[in-house]
Amino acid sequence: MPELDDQIAVVTGAGSGIGQGIALVLAQRGADIVVSDIDIAAAEAVADEVRSFGKNALAVQSDVTDRESTDALASTVITDLGRIDILVNNAGVGGAPGWWQRSSPSPEDWEATYDVNVIGIVNTTSSFQDHLSERRSGRIINIASGAGRRGTGGFAHYSASKAAAINVSQGFALKLAEFNINVNCICPGLLWTPLWEKIAERDRIKSGETVLTGRQVFDQRLETSTPLGREQTPEDVGKLAAFLASDRSKNITGQSINLNGGSYMN
């Protein structure tokens, strides 16, 4: 359904994984896409995929932890495209480089997850909010995680950052409602993405597993924790994002929606 025709969407962290899935689904639904990522080569590759659907695409390098960088992103988009309608704050990390090789999160892991997963949302939203407020229109969709619904032992730094992302989303929803801007949050469950590959490898190393592969560790987790018995995909997240970006969700704001096959029911 081309329900997002003539819409312009910015997706951060769109060079791979969930962000890539969101960018491609929004393009299939009719939107032109700004593919933002710290890895410009990855962003360009996804932009080429978007163009294969007959939609315009702009690849922009941006570091969401740096407000000057997100301001530059906003300036580039508004100058080159004239406006935006949809902002998807997807960029996220599991910790500082090498986090999957540590049995417990380091201080650097706590700092990195907060900087990207929380401050990244704040920076990027703040860079675009004046433009959206002046237009009195817009959809902001933040990607959190089912991990933000409850604490986890050895992965507390990540869970805490995603819980904060949910709370920040509610704060922006209250702040921007008067400008007719909807702000919502998606909480995905188990997806086999580059991030989850590292989580599975971390769990494998931590448990001393020497037989199973990371994918098999992931499949075991899926079997024991997900009532529907099937993994979620980046495309699934993209479809929910497309709904939240459309007029069908015009009275939904400040919500955090689980997309997890039933692993968390709240």
Catalytic residue IDs: 158
- Picking from 41, 39, 34, 29, the residue whose alpha carbon sits closest to that of residue 11 is 34
Backbone phi, then psi, for 257, in 5-degree steps? -105, 125
Instruction: Give the C-alpha separation, 84 to 212, whole Å.
Output: 45
- Picking from 130, 129, 157, 127, the residue whose alpha carbon sits closest to that of residue 145 is 157
Instruction: Give the C-alpha separation, 48 to 250, whole Å.
Output: 31
Asked whether 111 and 125 are in contact (CB, 8 A), the reply is no
Residue with tokens 């689904």: 25
Spatial strand order of the sheet with 181-188 comes to: 57-61, 32-37, 8-12, 86-89, 138-143, 181-188, 256-259
Q: Per the structure block, which two tokens stand in for 198?
A: 């590292």
Asked whether 234 and 242 are in contact (CB, 8 A), the reply is no
